[in-house]
Amino acid sequence: MSDTGVFRSGTAVLAGRPNVGKSTLLNSLVGRKLSIVTPKAQTTRHRILGIVNRPGFQLALVDTPGAVAPAGSRLSQVMSREAQSGIAAADAAILVIAATRWTTEDDSTLKRLKSSGLPIVLAVNKIDLVRPRARLLPLLERIAAKHEFAAVVPVSAERHENLDRLLDAAAALLPEAPAAWPAGQLTDRGEAFQAAEVLREQLMLVLSDELPYGIAVEIERFEPTPDGRTEIDAVIWVERVGQRKIVIGANGERLKAVGMATRLALNEFFGRRVHLTTWVKVREGWSDDDRLLRRLGHDAP
């Protein structure tokens, strides 16, 4: 930061169409995997907060959910409200686009951010996919003409290119204020929430394109043991009996494979051994059940 002796603290919301790398960017900026990442669009269902501490500033980054089917469900409404509240509470916005192309969805996202009145930093992600790199210049010139961005920063979240420059550009837009979070804190989400997300990530990686949006994960028990392990009981909610059979797989092999992959990921994530037990249960219309949505970590009314 260039403001010697000035400390800035505030929030920047990450916005962008599906699959431009918002969650990967959040994880790379924070230096820890907080938001799950899959090749499927609209993986993020919750507001995910990641906190970056640097000399001179503390920046809270918010990755907001996209709209997930079924449209019109309580889940869809709650997620839309979480996304809007993320923008409303922010001091700045980071519009994330893919360096490969600008789309009409990018136009829509930019229009929404402009209406919020927030200063906007444009993060042009996935520059590692552009060859030769000189092809970036015409794209950057065209996009820069669309709005008076506070800064335009080409980045690669995957390869950690230009991330410090992006952080400095966003931090410059924050108000002068003391840090809002303890120095060592990286997120406002607890370990049980993160365990549920890692299990949902593994399910999304192995299930067909449609089914992941019909499932949810609830942690019923998250308990440390005297020998240093953590025991986790998780319920995978589906909406139909047929979906339950798909998740379990023939002779239970799919669920067994998902459970093993999740345990390995959580062992690494938490730095300790995890014992995971899973059940697959049917609740028709779970995405319209306010009580269950609250248990799943959504701010349902």
pLDDT band at residue 88, thresholds of 50, 70 and 90? confident
How far is Cα 120 from Cα 115, in angstroms, rounded to an integer? 11
Which residues on adjacent β-strands are paired with residue 247?
none
Of residues 93, 91, 140, 97, the one with CA closest to residue 112: 93
- Among the residue ranges 55-69, 176-190, 191-205, 229-243, the one predicted with the least confidence is 55-69
Cis-peptide, bond into residue 212, ω within 30° of zero:
no
Of residues 64, 106, 58, the one with CA closest to residue 88: 64
Report all structural domains of the chain as residue ranges with CATH numbers, in order of start: 8-171 (3.40.50.300), 191-295 (3.30.300.20)
pLDDT at residue 213 in the model: 75
* The residue to which tokens 């200063």 are assigned: 119
Instruction: List pLDDT tens digits, range 108-124.
Output: 999 999 999 999 999 99
pLDDT at residue 19 in the model: 85
CB 94 within 8 A of CB 170: yes
Q: ∠ at Cα 81 (147, 209), nearest 5°?
A: 90
pLDDT at residue 69 in the model: 44
pLDDT at residue 244 in the model: 95
pLDDT at residue 258 in the model: 97
256: pLDDT strictly greater than 70: yes
18: pLDDT strictly greater than 90: no
Mean pLDDT of 244-266: 96
What is the average pLDDT score of the chain? 91
Mean pLDDT of 101-113: 93
